[in-house]
Amino acid sequence: MKIGVAQTRPVKGDIPRNLANHQRLIDLAVSDGVDLLIFPELSLTGYEPELAADLATTPDDSRFDVFQTSSDAHQITIGVGIPIRSEKGVWISLLIFQPHQPRHLYSKKYLHADEEPFFVSGQSTLHFLGEKADIALAICYELSVPEHSGNAFQNGAAIYIASVAKSASGMEKASETLSTIAQTYAMTVLVSNCVGPCDNFESVGQSAIWNTKGELIRQLNNTDEGILTLDLATGL
């Protein structure tokens, strides 16, 4: 199985343009034989908390049918970031498309204090992905909550993928934490970050992969879009 994380430059609040860019990166991943591709936090809108209530949608939004079409046609699982409207408020979610399956949500349970005016703790219909159901998901601040990665490991995770939107200082801290998670639990760890303006900060990319010893084995730069992949069979 080949897994990947995408690094995007979102256009603030512009779902159609971001959707088209997602499709371009999905096509790139397909051409590289990727089986699972995860995008950054709120990738389809950009990380823009003050706009989230107006941009929030539902999992069955027909604008996203193109992702299901790609998933079905190429046997690829895709996770895209989008604010989801619920009865209690707006969730920060990854909308998951799997070949010939219903759409699922992985929603952020643990919120940073700065997010609480705009979002509520989310509910997920899916926590693990992959052929062995051993790929755990996390959204940004969750990686800083020890209980989150600990529970993932206890429930059988061998791979931990974090979808984030982080500044230079935030990414530096996150990288240290993710390396520690990899080493502590002997998990392969990946992070998907965006580049460019987000909310009141500049996101710095540096999407990366750590091996089970906590060693950084691959990383994108801080300016360009792209995808970062890992073949689980070969380690390459």
The pLDDT-based confidence of 235 (bands split at 50, 70, 90) is confident
Q: Let me know if domain 2-231 sits in CATH 3.60.110.10.
A: yes
Q: Identify the bridge partners of residue 107 per DSSP, sorted by sequence position.
A: 93
Distances 62 to 41, 174, 198 between C-alpha atoms, Å:
21, 34, 26
- Give pLDDT tens digits for 49-59: 999 999 999 99
- Give the residue-averaged pLDDT of 20-40: 98
Residues contacting residue 144 through CB under 8 Å, at least 6 positions apart: 173, 174, 177
Query: What is the pLDDT confidence band of residue 125, given thresholds at 50, 70 and 90?
Result: very high
* pLDDT beyond 90 at 8: yes
* CA 50 remoteness from chain centre: 20
What local confidence, expressed as pLDDT, does residue 233 receive? 87
User: How high is the pLDDT of residue 131?
Assistant: 86
Q: Full-prediction pTM beyond 0.85?
A: yes
Answer with the residue of higher pLDDT: 131 or 169: 169
Q: Give me the mean pLDDT over the 5-27 stretch.
A: 98
* pLDDT tens figures, 198-218: 999 999 999 999 999 999 999
